[in-house]
Amino acid sequence: MSEPAEGSPATPPARETPGEERHAGRGGGGGFWHALRELVIVVVAALVISALVRTFLLQAFWVPSGSMEQTLVRGDRILVWKPGVEPSRGDVVVFRDPNQWLADPVAPTGVAGVLNQIGTFVGILPSSSGDDLVKRVIGVGGDTVECCDADGRIVRNGESLDEPYLYPGDRTDQIRFSVTVPQGRLFMMGDHRSDSADSRYHLEEQDGTVPVENVVGTAEVIMWPVSRWATLPDYNGTDGGDAG
């Protein structure tokens, strides 16, 4: 028996059949579509979770004015806690416009408008619908709130308030009033009193008070810009300004 020539294989290499080649091709394509499907599932799940968090737990809002300076300044992005909100004196809260306090907002249109609505819905972008306001709770149901004592301070239930959060050098006696807050309602004021069209400017409607059910949540954190990052303490105004 003759030996195979040097350099020649002893056994010819097996050849793939056409059927085997087609099967291998289908496997490669299936891997791509499987990975794409998993990616879509992950993205959709993340968006659903984000929307649920926005609806029931936390929501971001954009501060469009200077009515809460220096506590909040124009352009701040704040994070609002929503579950079980029971507004207390001194809380900074976001609430829905109770009675045309705000002018009708000018919403973005076209592609930008659609993207803004989607981003706001899933919580990627802060709400800037123009239907929400941010103020501080000065009086709750049963409180009598008055302006002002001899030093220009707000008086609540006969006691002058210490308000260290007020805009430096600002006065708080632009409008004289005496209001007893109905149960289930709140009396709201901005920290920058001379630049805040708050409850004082709407006394003709329910003494300027806001229904508790209009409260979206309490502002907890300034999350943007980074240089402004801070948690927001609240003050009851009668204990020297300590958080309460």
Active-site residue numbers? 67, 135
* Inter-axis angle of helices 18-56 and 110-122, nearest 10: 80
Angstrom distance (rounded) from CA 86 to CA 193: 24
Alpha-carbon dihedral 232, 233, 234, 236, rounded to 10 degrees = -160
User: If you ran DSSP here, which 8-state letter would residue 155 be given?
Assistant: E
Q: Tell me the β-bridge partners of 185.
A: 211
Contacts of 134 (CB under 8 A, 6+ apart): 61, 63, 67, 68, 72, 78, 92, 93, 94, 95, 219
Residue 137 near residue 88, CB atoms below 8 Å: yes
The structure tokens 């394509």 sit at: 29
Residue 148 near residue 176, CB atoms below 8 Å: yes
Q: What angle do CA 154, 162, 230 make, to 5 degrees?
A: 115
Contacts of 110 (CB under 8 A, 6+ apart): none
Angstrom distance (rounded) from CA 198 to CA 189: 5
